[in-house]
Amino acid sequence: MKRILVLCTGNSCRSQIAEGYLKHFGGTALEVRSAGIEAHGVNPRAVATMKADGIDISGQSSNRVDEYAGESFDYVLTVCDNAQERCPHFPASATKLHAAFPDPAKATGSEAEIEAAFRQVREEIKEFCRRLAGELVQATR
C-alpha cells in the first residue's frame, strides 16, 4: 500500500476533492490523507460537487500539515502553487508531485457560475487523480 498526502493552502476544496478521488480510484492500494498550510474546514460546495459525482467526502476533516509531521508518506502531492512553495520538509523518501488547480472557493458571480467553477475544477482534479491512481496502483503490483 502506498501512502499519499495531498496538500493545498486551506485543505477545504482542492485537496479534499483530490483525497476523495484518490481514495475512490486507488481503492485499498492507496492510503490517502489531505492537509493544508492552514485548516479552513471542508467547503460545503466541495462536498456538494463531489456528491453530485457520487463521491461522499462529508466525513473528511480539514487538517493542518503539521499534524502529519511524524508520519511517513510515499508521495506528497501539492495541488496549488502556494502549498508547493510553502510545503514543509518531508523525509527524502517521499516523492514530491505537483499539479496546480484553480481555487474554486475564489469563484465569483451568480450561484450558477460558482457551481460551474466548482464542477470545472472537480473534473480537472478527477482526471488527474484517475491517471495518478492508475499509475500508483500499477506500481504496487
Catalytic residues: 8, 80, 87
Q: Phi first, then psi: give them for residue 98, nearest 5 degrees.
A: -145, 135
Asked if residues 140 and 1 have their Cβ atoms less than 8 Å apart, the reply is yes
Give one DSSP letter per residue of 40-102, joined into a string.
----HHHHHHHHTTT---TT----BGGGGTT---SEEEE-SHHHHHHPPP--TTSEEEE----
Residues 6+ apart with CB under 8 A from 112: none
Question: Which among 1, 15, 26, 2 has a CA at the least distance from the CA of 84?
Answer: 15
